[in-house]
A and B are shown apart, each in its own frame.
Chain A
């Protein structure tokens, strides 16, 4: 059971889902401006779960991927938490040519692993930054980011930390599934909020909606 103070109502969930939809739409447009790619969006999903269940939940969601690459970035302001951008293993290599015109030469020179990491980091930076940035802008906050951390090609069991948050806490998980059309690559973006943010988030959601009363 999720403790009562962390329960978000259906209405709050719907507002958050709509804000997430707007935020990820902005992130996709920002990415499309930088690289020539079309991002197919899906309806975002919001869920409140116990932090202890979070790693299993994420592993279950990405069950089709036997090995994954992750870009992880933390953010903090009133809205505090972590973003996990998850691709199937090998996606980074597929995406290299989108960012680097000299990719073939680099691949031949043997620096593929570094290039893959840099590609994922760049894409992660744009998607996470634009999405979290728009989300917090709509809710009246400004956040600071940690540098992104990239982990490539690992088993989900090994790669997703078992202690994302204190086990007794609850977290709001916002999930968006997307597809890079030309490359046929699917990915997930999970935003998990730190429990300290939930009170602020609930108030801010109603503040946002008040403009439309």
Chain B
């Protein structure tokens, strides 16, 4: 079950856009961070069920943050939400263990579909309640 969602993106507008695509009735608890380093610290502190992570960010970029997050928790579900849709970028983040790549701008269908998949995956990893 997904309860805690972390959104890491330097753009407040981008965070708002993504959040608006997540069902309002999901009862989720949201956490936000404005760069990779802040995102990593929040990730370690709150242990989110799902993290949406941008790639092009100041201070620490999303690739480094993803690497650190996966080292901290290999089972974490990290969805890379990015405008950098170059094949090499996508291959790189999938190799680092991203759960999925969500291309910007986000759509309601795209976000909800990937959240369903994340919930299924989490159910399989944790086993039946």
**Contact at B12–A29, with CB atoms within 8 Å?**
no
Q: In the complex, A18 Cα to B18 Cα: how many Å?
A: 12
Q: Give the CA-CA distance A26 to B82 in the complex, in Å.
A: 11
Q: Given A18-B13, A138-B105, A29–B85 Cβ distance below 8 Å?
A: yes
Cross-chain contact B13 with A22 (CB below 8 angstroms): no
Cβ 8 A contact of A32, one of B10, B58, B83, B86: B86
Closest to B16 in A: A212
Q: In the complex, what residue of chain A is closest to B84 when comparing beta carbons?
A: A25
Q: Which of A36-44, A58-66, A153-161, A165-173 contacts B (4 or more CB under 8 A)?
A: A36-44
B83 near A39 with CB under 8 A, answer no
B side interface size, CB within 8 A: 22
Task: Flag whether A68 is at the interface (Cβ < 8 A).
Answer: no
Contact across chains for B88 and A21 when beta carbons are under 8 A apart: no
Cβ < 8 Å to A, chain B residues 13-42? 13-14, 16-17, 20-21
Contacts of A42 in B (CB 8 A): 56
Do A43 and B10 touch across chains, with their CB atoms under 8 A apart?
A: yes
Please report whether the interface of chain B is mostly helix, strand, loop or mixed according to DSSP.
Answer: loop
**Residue B60 CB within 8 A of the other chain:** no
Q: How far is the CA of A35 from the CA of B21 in the complex (A)?
A: 35
Across the interface, which residues of A come within 8 angstroms of B83, CB to CB? 21-26, 41
Which residues of the other chain, B, contact A98 by a CB distance below 8 angstroms?
A: none
Residues of chain A at the chain B interface (Cβ within 8 Å): 11, 14-15, 17-18, 21-26, 28-29, 32-33, 38-39, 41-43, 138, 209, 212-213
Residues of B within 8 A of A (CB): 10-14, 16-17, 20-21, 56-58, 82-89, 104-105
* 10 smallest beta-carbon distances between A and B, as pairs: A25-B83, A212-B20, A22-B83, A212-B17, A29-B85, A14-B13, A32-B86, A29-B86, A21-B83, A18-B13
